Amino acid sequence: MEILWAPWRLSYVSRAGEEKETGCFICKALEEHPEKDRENLLLYRGERALVILNRFPYNTAHLMVCPVRHTGNFLSLLPEELAEIDSLIKRSIETLKKAYNPDGFNVGLNLGRASGGSVETHIHYHIVPRWVGDTNFMPVTGGVKVIPQSLDETYETLKRFWE
């Protein structure tokens, strides 16, 4: 039997069945002092938008770009917010290319529960790096996705390349 190492999943698995955390994790990360950005996986704080690692990633180095303002209504985004979000999506892709050299990206957002959105109250764009061959038999036959790097290591790698 092969062991899959995913230590960050323990906090998620151990809370299964408990009430969900109240409040917005994105806003909570912003409210914390910047010295806690690493702990909160907050990679970049902008004036109108931010970049944060997904705590439960689909793939290694899965980032989210979000407006600073708490809104779940895409149509309410201001032109200035959209401009900064677009700029940070571009910078995120550039950083991921330098740090991980992926073959492609999935970039997008889910609006509403019906679309698969798990956080409906705070809009966030997903930026998921992809590599040729990163989809294999594990997710198909075993229902398991292997993430080969810890979130702490991913954060440190991206922080170096971001700056």
Q: Catalytic residue positions?
A: 124
Burial class (CB in 10 A: 0-12, 13-18, 19+), 17: exposed
Q: Is 120:112 a contact under the CB 8 Å cutoff?
A: yes
Residues near 86 by beta carbon (within 8 Å), at least 6 away in sequence? none
**Residues forming a β-bridge with 108:** 126
CA 65-119-93 angle, to 5 degrees, is 20
User: What CA–CA distance (Å, rounded) separates 71 from 54?
Assistant: 18
